[in-house]
Amino acid sequence: MIKVLFVCLGNICRSPMAESVFNGLLLKEGLEGQVTSDSAGTSDYHIGEPPDPRTMDIVEKYQLSNNHRGRQFIRADFQQFDYVLAMDRSNLANIKRVLSSEDIKDRVFLMRDFDDEAPGADVPDPYWSEADGFEQVYQIILRSCQDFIVYLKEKHPALTQ
């Protein structure tokens, strides 16, 4: 089982949205028994809280699901997950503070490293935006998750069988 962790700041907007989008794509691809995901935040601002209502609006709009409660990224997560995808450079820097540089090689990425439209760019934090900001983030996450699944299939040929 390949395990993927999506990480943002508070774990109520971007990373739970990415978890929902990714899990929906796994179902469509028939990979739900081979790949799984979770999400976490680098801060402790929203531990135990459900995703932001605007994130849940997007989840419902695209007929996805999410039962997640906010939690903080911890070093032990790196032992449990094969890949960690950070939403922005600040999240990535916070992750790197917890892990050694050897740990992160080929396992920790920016989410948009897998976005053909803006490779390596940050996923903007929609927290202070209106619904259109959440829609924009959804589109970015969707593209990135689609391309990440392509990457996983290339890296793990058994997934394509």
Lowest mean pLDDT among 51-55, 77-81, 139-143: 77-81
pLDDT given at position 54: 97
State CA 22 to chain mean position distance. 8
Mean pLDDT to the nearest integer, 28-39: 96
Structure tokens at 17: 């949205």
The predicted-structure confidence for 84-96, as pLDDT tens digits, reads as follows 999 999 999 999 8
Q: Report which of 15, 125, 5, 1 is spatially closest to residue 74, judged by C-alpha positions.
A: 5
Task: Give catalytic residue positions.
Answer: 8, 14, 125
Q: Bridge-partner residues for 108, per DSSP?
A: 84
- Residue whose C-alpha is closest to residue 127's, from 22, 63, 74, 49: 49
Percentage of the chain modeled with pLDDT above 70: 97
What is the residue-averaged pLDDT of the chain? Answer: 95
Q: Which residues make beta-bridge pairs with 6?
A: 39, 85
Return the axis-axis angle of helices 131-155 and 53-61, rounded to nearest 10°. Answer: 60
| DSSP character at residue 19 | H
The CATH T-level fold of domain 2-156 is Rossmann fold (3.40.50)
* H-run or E-run covering 76: helix 75-80
pLDDT at residue 140 greater than cutoff 80: yes
Q: Among 2-6, 94-98, 122-126, where is mean pLDDT lowest?
A: 94-98
Whole-angstrom Cα distance, residue 150 to residue 78? 22
Q: Can you give the residue ranges of every domain in the chain?
A: 2-156
* pTM for this predicted structure: 0.96
